Amino acid sequence: MACSLDFIEFVSSQIATAGTVRYRKMFGEYMIYVDEKPVIIVCDNIPYVKEHEAIKSMMLSAERGFPYEGAKEHYVLDVSRSDFAVKLVKTLAEVLPYPKSRK
């Protein structure tokens, strides 16, 4: 099952104050970028974030899952709690690298 554009727009609106938010369709799913860094991958209308030391204490009770076959385990982000989601996304955006440029 692919993601719905309505859900992607909902997730984007929930984290809108975290920075400059945009999304891009990739293989039927979506990557959400914050300040040009890939922060959230949404597969089957489930938003996932990378497991990272910077957010470990914030995600102790979070569900985990695999966004797609062959992926590493990720945290499932509860975007219904907008304040929490914004704080988490800002933290991740500070520590994640920019994607490598394609030449």
State whether residue 14 is helix, strand or coil: helix
pLDDT tens digits, one per residue of 2-27: 789 999 999 999 999 999 999 999 88
pLDDT tens digits, one per residue of 39-67: 999 999 999 999 999 999 999 999 999 99
Span 78-93, mean pLDDT?
96
Residue 1 has pLDDT above 70, yes or no: no
Residue 84 has pLDDT above 70, yes or no: yes
Please spell the DSSP secondary structure of 41-63, one letter per residue. EEETTEEEEE--GGGGGGGTT--
Torsion of CA 85, 91, 94, 97, to 10 degrees: -70
Say what percent of the chain tops pLDDT 70.
Answer: 99
What the chain holds in terms of domains, given with CATH numbers, is 5-95 (3.30.1460.30)
**Antiparallel, parallel or unpaired: β 29-34 and 37-43:** antiparallel
